[in-house]
A and B are shown apart, each in its own frame.
Chain A
Amino acid sequence: MLQQKAESQATETTYREAIREAIRDALKRDERVFLMGEDVGRYGGCYAVTKGLLAEFGPERIRDTPLSESGFTGAGIGAAIGGLRPIVELMTVNFSLLALDQILNSAATIRHMSGNQFGVPLVIRMATGAGRQLAAQHSHSLEGWYAHIPGIKVLAPATVEDARGMLWTALEDPDPVLIFEHVMLYNMTGMLASDAGPVGINKAAIRREGNDISLITYGGSLWKTIDAATALAVEGIEAEVVDLRTLRPLDDATIMASVRKTHRAVIVDEGWRTGSLAAEISARITEQAFFDLDGAIGRVCSEEVPIPYPRHLEEAAIPQVPKIIAAAKTALTGG
C-alpha cells in the first residue's frame, strides 16, 4: 500500500528507529499522546528506543517514572479514562507482572464493570524474549499469558513496517493494547518506505508462501522460522510462514486458510510449551481444520526452564533453526 507506492524512497532503518519514529509520529499527530516509563526520558530508554524524545517533546510528554510498574501503569489507566492517550513503557515483560493487577483487574475490565461508561484507550509497550544473556528475570516470553485475557489486544510486531505502523493503530483503539517488542529485533534492519505509516492490526501475514507445511510464528521467532523455511526449500520442501502479528485476537481465518492449503502445521513460539499460545493455536486448528490435517501438529517452544544465563544454555533453551527444521520434517511424515 503506502510502502509499495514509495518503494523507490525506501531507506534502511532499524526496528528501534522504526518504533522511535512511530512514537514521534503519534506525539505529533495527537497532543493527548504522552509516553511514560522507567528511564524513558533522560536515559533514552533501556533499549535506547526513546533517545532524543525528551529534548524534542519536553518533560510533560516524555515522563520518567519511579520504579513502580503498578503505580505508573495505574496512572496510565487513569489518564486514559480521563481522556488522554498514554503510551506506557514497561522495561520487560518480566517486570510487567508487577503491573498485572492493573492490566487485568483494571484496564481489561473497566469497560465491562462500568456498563460501557468508561473505556481505557491505553497502549503499553514492553520488551520480551531471550537472547541477550539477561538471565531468568529479564528474558521470558509471557505474551501468551496476556493473550489469555479478554478485553485487551496483544500485538507482536516482527518487521520494521509493523514496528513503525502498529503503534498509531493501537492508540486509535478504544481499548487497551499491549505491544511486545522482542529484544533481539531492536538492532535488526529492514527497508522502510519514507512515508511508511499506520498498518492494520487485525490480520496475520503470510511472510513466505509454500504448499508443503505451514510454519506459524510471531515476533522474534519469525526470522528464525524464515531461515528454517529457506533451508527446507533447498531440500525441496516449500514451507509457508505465517506471521501472526496480533496474538489477541488471533486471525483464525489466515491460519486455517494456510493449513487447509498445506495440510501440516508447526507452531514456533518462544513461550514455554505447557499452556502456551502454540497450544492454543494447535487446539484451534484441530477444532476448525481437523479433516484438512495430514499429520500431527508440531510445536517448537522454549524448554520448560527459567531462561539460563550462559550463552550456550540460553541458545539451547529457546527455538532455533535446526529445531524448526526437524519439527517440520517430522510433521511431513505424519508426526
Chain B
Amino acid sequence: MAEFRMPSLGADMEAGTLVEWLVKPGDQVKRGDIIAVVETQKGAIEIENFEPGTVEKILVEVGTKVPVGTPLAMIRAEGEPAMSITAPAQPPEPAVAPSRPLEPKAPAPAPTPAPAAGAEAEERVRISPAARRLAEQHGIDVSTLLGSGADGAILLSDVARIIAEPKIGGARGRGFDLAAMRDAIAAAMARSKREIPHYYLAQPIEMTACQDWLAAVNAKRPPDRRLLLGALLVKAVARAARKFPAFNGFYRDGAFKPAPSVHVGMAIAIRGGGLIAPAIHDADGLSLDALMTEMRELVGRVRSGRIRSSEMADPTITVSSLGERGVEQLYGIIYPPQVAIVGFGKVAPSPWIADGKVVARPVINATLAADHRVTDGHAGALFLSEIETLLQEPETL
C-alpha cells in the first residue's frame, strides 16, 4: 500500500490546500495520471500519481490545508489485498452522481492531451456551446475548467460535475493567483540572494551555423512545425549540463548533490506579471522536434494555468531568455536549491573577427550565474564554452 502524499512543489512550499480530487476510491490509476489539484502560493497545481494501482482510500477532504508530506490518499498496488479498515478518519467525498448514464468507464478525466497547435491556439478555451452556456448560467469561469472531451474539450458533463461539487470556501479551480505568485517569487529570490554566492560569466557566441541550419530545416515545414532557436539553446544547455554535472542538481543542507537526470526549467513569463519555470524532463535526450513540441505545449499550458506537479518540483537547471524583448544580456538569479541558471540575450548582428578581419555576424550573449559554493569560475567557463561548441554544430544537437 503506497501513501500518496502532499508533494513539495518548490523549496519554499510548506503546505498546500487540496482543492480537487480527480479520482475516487476504487479508481485505477497509472503512473503520471493527474489525480488531485493542490492550491499553493504559485497557483493551482495538478498533482501526478507515481504508484500504479487502485485508489483505496481518500484521506484528506477537499478544502483542507495540510503540510508537505501529509498522506492524502492510499494507493493499493496491483495484486495487493484490499484494506479492511472500517472507520476512515474522514469520510471520503460522496461520489458525484453522473449527470447522464454515459459517464466514461474510467471516471477520472483523461489528462488533457497536448494541444496540437502552439501556445496561441491554446489560449482559446475549447468548450462546447452547451457547456459554455451552462457555465455562464452558473457563473463559472470556463478558463478554470478541465475538459474530458477530444483534445481536452470541455463538455457539458465537465461543467455539470463542477456544479454538482460542494462549494469550497475561497478555493479556485485552475489558474494562477498572481499576488501569491509574486510573494513566492519574492521569497525564493530573496533567499537565493541571501544564501547563494553567485558568480557571473558572459560569453558571446556566433550564431551563423544555427541560423543557417534552422532556415534550411524550416524551409520545408509549415509554420506550426518549425523549430525555433529556443529549442537549440535549451538542448545545448541540457547537453552541457550532462557533461558538467556540477551545474545540474541541488544544493541542500550544506551539500551539493548532482541530479541523475537533466530537467531544464524553462522560464516563462505569465501575462499580467509573474514568472514560472517548469521543467522539460530529460531535455538532453529529447530530439529537437520532441523538445520543440514540449516547449510549445508547456508554454500553452502555463498560459492556461495548467502545470503538473512534477514539472514544478524538479527542474535541475534553469534557462531564461529575454532576447525576444531586445535584451542583450541576462544576469539571472539562481532558483534554489538549483545551482545554475543560463541566460540568453537577443541574436544581433555584431562585429566579429574572422580570419583577422572584422565582419558582421549574428551573435548571442550567453551568461551563466552559478553557485560559488559548488563550482568556481573556471568550471563555469568550461561549461559556457561547451554550450558555444555545441551551438556551432546544430545538426548534431
Contacts and interface: CB of A to CB of B under 8 A. Distances in A.
Contact of B102 (A236, A290, A330): A236
Contacts of A227: none
A291 B130 contact: yes
Interface in A219-255: 236-238
Interface string A279-293: 000000000001111
Contacts of B156: 263, 294
A295 B101 contact: no
A333 B103 CA distance: 11
Nearest to B131: A294
A295 B102 contact: no
A7 interface: no
Contact of B129 (A212, A236, A237, A293): A293
Nearest to A262: B100
B179 interface: no
Given A291-B129, A291-B130, A295-B128, A334 B100 contact: no
Interface stretch (B1-9, B87-95, B147-155): B147-155
Interface residues of B, number: 17
B130 A212 contact: no
B149 A295 contact: yes
Interface string B150-165: 1101011000000000
B182 interface: no
A335 B102 CA distance: 16
Given A236-B102, A238-B101, A334 B129 contact: no
Interface in B49-102: 100-102
A159 to B, nearest CB: 28
Given A236-B102, A238-B101, A295-B155, A334 B130 contact: no
B130 A263 contact: yes
A222 B133 CA distance: 32
A293 B129 CA distance: 6
Given A291-B133, A294-B155, A294-B156, A212 B101 contact: yes
A237 B98 CA distance: 14
Contacts of A238: 101-102
Contacts of A291: 129-130, 132-133
Contacts of B150: 330, 333-335
- The winner among B101, B102, B131, B147 for most chain A CB atoms within 10 A is B102
B368 to A, nearest CB: 47
Interface residues of A, number: 17
Interface in A276-335: 290-295, 330, 332-335
Nearest to A232: B102
A209 B350 CA distance: 73
Given A293-B129, A294-B128, A295-B149, A334 B101 contact: no
Given A263-B130, A291-B130, A295-B128, A334 B153 contact: yes
B100 A211 contact: yes
B389 to A, nearest CB: 48
Contacts of B130: 263, 291-294
Contacts of B149: 295, 333-334
Nearest to B150: A333
Contacts of A236: 101-102
Interface string A189-226: 00000000000000000000001100000000000000
Contacts of A335: 150
A262 to B, nearest CB: 9
Contacts of A237: 102
Given A290-B129, A292-B130, 13 more contacts: A211-B101, A263-B156, A291-B130, A292-B133, A293-B128, A293-B130, A294-B131, A294-B156, A295-B149, A334-B128, A334-B147, A334-B150, A334-B153
9 contacts: A212-B102, A237-B102, A263-B130, A292-B129, A293-B128, A294-B130, A333-B153, A334-B149, A334-B150
Interface of A: 211-212, 236-238, 263, 290-295, 330, 332-335
Nearest 10 pairs of A and B residues by beta carbon: A334-B149, A334-B153, A294-B128, A333-B150, A294-B130, A294-B156, A291-B133, A291-B129, A212-B102, A333-B149
